[in-house]
Chains A and B, each alone.
Chain A
Amino acid sequence: MPVVRIPTPLRPHTDGQDSVESTGTTVGEVLGNVGTKYPALKERIFDDAGELRRFVNVYLNNEDIRYLDDLATAVAANDEVSIIPAVAGG
């Protein structure tokens, strides 16, 4: 099953888990299924229209999905989808 990696600031919305197994054959399905289980997470990564929020970046393994097929990017069973927010401090 594909795994979704959850960044530290969003872990309060996944019961503290740093990764969550999901189902689906595209990045959109995989994230959507995690969002169904964890609605507060969904709200933080998707806007009302169901698009990824512009400050949220998603990577399939180590590739930015925006130069693949965005949410339609195909996901295989052993793939890893990572949500990586920008780190602002310093």
Chain B
Amino acid sequence: MSTAVDPIERYSRQVRFPMLGEAGQRKLMASRVTICGCGALGTVLANHLVRAGVGNIRIVDRDFIETHNLQRQILFDEQDVADNLPKAEAAARKLRLINSQVNIEAVVTDIDHTNILDLVADADLILDGTDNFETRYLINDAAVKLNKPWVFGGVIGSEGQSMTIRPGITPCIRCVVQDNPPPGMTPTCETAGVLGPAVSVVASFEAVEAIKILSGAYDALNTELFVIDIWDWTFRRLKIKNLLGKVDCPCCQQKKFEWLEGDLGSHTTTLCGRNAVQIATRRSEKLNFAEMATRLNSLADVRHNAFMLRFAAEGHEFTVFPDGRAIIKGTNDISKARTLYAQFVGN
């Protein structure tokens, strides 16, 4: 049931904001955004953009919802956990109730070099809701190749960073963060923790940059690396724009798209700090969960819905997605996880 008669009316409070106005609002409503990752940052981003009336939003996420997500991932609730919903699908359901005027597409997949261009090609803007630099370098390659703006955000503990990337106009993420820190050199949200308000601050900065880009307010964009610590109450704006052309960036200067070409990065990976491994395979045919459930019926607690099949075996919890990808909890050992996958899911 839609209560809005005039589609603009529901946005009246932001339309009155003179820097946006009705013309800006109409641009938002005609825009298309891909949000990569729908965890802590992604849920806040999606919430802001859907409420602001950005017309078309694609939400891409590979994961399912766990109770420890609810502390900061604002679109999810306990029922979503009980229903075994993937994050992208649960977010889309919630957001459609918030604003039926927005066209929301949920895509449950692992973003990798084979699918990123399809996921972002029709978007006016890409937003970063991911939790790792491998995916960010992939987004960066795709954005530079397709000449699309994107907004980076990262959070850990009480600290956060954000920068806005416009290919050819600003440095790209590889100009600023030249290499992915090796595992163990930097903390993750699982090892160092993360505060919900830190996420909200960073994602809100990303969202306001999105509103500026989509409404054409380019002069108001952030050209620096924004760095905050909400616990220490420190806010810094680090000057990075002179890095453009100064560092011989493989991506935006040399136009070598090493992540996009699949030369760098792996997607069968340990999920850092979670004692879990993701097995990345992509099958041409969808798995038949009903058949699998019958086959696995001797195992404990086999459950499935349209989005995932979950079971426990040999002390591990398996979550299998229709494209064959799986997350196996209870190990950080990739070869062991591959063996378990072959044993219980199949090759």
In the complex, the answer to whether A64 meets B239 with C-beta atoms within 8 Å is yes
Contacts of B129 in A (CB 8 A): 90
Q: Which residues of B contact A55 (CB under 8 A)?
A: 177-182, 185-186
What is the 8 Å Cβ interface bit string for chain A, positions 41-77, against chain B (1 contact, 0 not)? 0001000000001110101001110110000000000
Residues in B neighbouring A53, C-beta threshold 8 A: 179
Q: Is B160 an interface residue (CB 8 A)?
A: yes
Are B237 and A62 interface neighbours, CB within 8 A?
Answer: yes
Name the residue in B132, B239, B247 with the highest tally of chain A Cβ atoms < 10 Å from its Cβ: B239
Residues of B within 8 A of A66 (CB): 243, 246-247
Q: Does B199 contact A (CB under 8 A)?
A: yes
Interface contact B239-A89, CB-CB below 8 Å: no
A86 x B177 contact (CB < 8 A): yes
Stretch at the interface among B188-196, B211-219, B285-293: B188-196
> Smallest CB–CB gap between A60 and chain B, Å?
10
Contacting residue for B239 out of A44, A62, A86, A88, CB 8 A: A62
B154 sits at the interface (CB 8 A): yes
Q: Which single member of A8, A67, A85, A86 contacts B243 (CB below 8 Å)?
A: A67
Taking the nearest CB of chain B, how far is it from the CB of A82, in angstroms? Answer: 8
- CB contacts (< 8 Å) of A87 on chain B: these are 154-156, 159-161
Rounded to whole Å, the gap between the CB of B77 and the closest CB of chain A is 21
User: B297 → chain A, closest Cβ, in Å?
Assistant: 38
Q: Does B236 sit at the interface, judged by CB under 8 A?
A: yes
Is A1 part of the contact surface with B, judged by Cβ < 8 Å? no
Q: Indicate if B157 sits at the interface (CB-CB under 8 A).
A: yes
A64 near B238: Cβ-Cβ < 8 Å = yes
A59 surroundings in chain B (CB, below 8 A): 238
A86-B154 in contact (CB<8A):
yes
Residue in B185, B227, B237 whose CB lies within 8 Å of A84: B227
Residue of A nearest to B187 (CB): A9
Q: Would you call A88 and B188 a contact (CB within 8 A)?
A: yes
Residue of A nearest to B39 (CB): A90
Tell me the nearest residue of chain A to B193, going by C-beta: A89
Q: Within the complex, which residue of B157, B179, B239 is in contact with A8, where a contact is CB–CB below 8 Å?
A: B157
On chain B, the residues within 8 Å of A9 by CB distance are 186-187, 192
Residues 235-256 of B at the A interface (beta carbon under 8 Å): 236-240, 242-243, 246-247
Asked if A89 contacts B243 (CB within 8 A), the reply is: no
**Alpha-carbon gap, A86 to B199, bound state (A):** 15
* B185 partner, pick from A44, A67, A89, A90, beta carbons under 8 A: A44
Which A residues are in CB contact (< 8 Å) with B179? 53-55
Find chain A residues with CB under 8 A from B185 CB.
Answer: 44, 55
B112 within 8 A of A: no
Q: Which residues of A contact B138 (CB under 8 A)?
A: none
| Residue numbers in B under 8 Å from A64 (CB-CB) | 176, 238-240, 242-243
Q: A66: shortest Cβ distance to chain B, in Å? A: 6
Residues in B82-115 with C-beta less than 8 Å from chain A:
none
In the complex, besides A54-B179, A64-B240, 19 extra interface pairs with C-beta distance below 8 angstroms are A8-B157, A53-B179, A55-B179, A55-B180, A62-B239, A63-B239, A64-B238, A66-B243, A67-B246, A86-B154, A87-B154, A87-B160, A89-B40, A89-B154, A90-B37, A90-B41, A90-B42, A90-B153, A90-B154
In the assembled complex, 13 residue pairs joining A and B whose CB atoms fall closer than 8 Å, in A order, are A9-B187, A62-B236, A62-B237, A67-B242, A85-B181, A86-B186, A87-B156, A88-B186, A89-B187, A89-B188, A90-B40, A90-B153, A90-B155
